[in-house]
Chains A and B, each alone.
Chain A
Amino acid sequence: MNLVVELRRDARVDDDEQLLLRLNDDLDEVNVLRLALANAPAYRSLPGHESTGAVAVSRFAVASQLDAEIIIRGTRWGDLGARYGLATVRELRALGCEVVPTVIYERGVRLPLSDRHVDVIACPYPTGFADYAALTGSQRAEVRALTQDRFSAVVRAFDPRHQIDGP
């Protein structure tokens, strides 16, 4: 598998006031969900999700809006007038989400900002379906129909989005 998700056992998300950053504006919610569904098997490594994996929204812990913008300027979007959203852990837990500190490896490489990375678990991957990559087009559409509303509610918890200025 290309993506490996590990629980950051040395990290905790136990402050409801903690602020979380979501990169991007997520205007194409179907595409965002496709990515999350394709990555769902990697979340079988997390306790409670061993059987089907999970549909997760990736984000980063930040101290403030300024801290968020500093992070964004360190990515390839930083000079493109990037958009971003902020939400507190409390808001996400109010939606019934698990908030889990994780580190992500892609093809064996630890992704940048892993020491701040947190996953919001929107829902388990639906039971009764093979991994998303192995499904037919109609099966994929069925899985998306089962998960889109829930997933979109979590993504939109990071609204309104903000925009940083260009260079």
Chain B
Amino acid sequence: MDEPLSRVVADLTFAPLRGGLATVPPGIWEEDHDPVVGERVAVSDGGAGPFAAVITEIDPDGTLVLKVEAFIPANA
């Protein structure tokens, strides 16, 4: 069985874009390990998602830059 993806919590309604990729502010990463570039994650807010995404960049302030790949059904 695949390992569950790390969860990124983000307000997706007005998530700022950078070069077509979503950027997520720091401060709501709640996994036991630090995020790493290349890590595949599930991003969601209070109702939308989760969406599979890959961390493509991490800013010095912790902002995550995400390439969103696909919608993951809630019961997956």
Contacts and interface: CB of A to CB of B under 8 A. Distances in A.
Greatest chain B CB density within 10 A among A29, A38, A75, A137 is at: A38
A112 interface: yes
A28 B26 contact: no
What DSSP secondary structure best describes chain A's contact surface?
mixed
Interface in B7-59: 9-14, 16, 25-28, 30, 32, 44-48
A4 to B, nearest CB: 12
A75 B13 contact: yes
B16 A107 contact: yes
Contact of B9 (A23, A25, A31): A31
A24 B63 contact: no
Interface of B is mostly: loop
A34 B30 contact: yes
A2 B9 contact: no
With a 10 A CB-CB cut-off, give which of B12, B14, B16 has the most chain A CB atoms: B14
Nearest to B31: A137
B13 A76 contact: yes
Interface of B: 9-14, 16, 25-28, 30, 32, 44-48, 61, 63
12 contacts: A2-B63, A3-B25, A24-B46, A28-B46, A29-B46, A35-B10, A35-B11, A35-B28, A76-B13, A83-B47, A109-B16, A155-B46
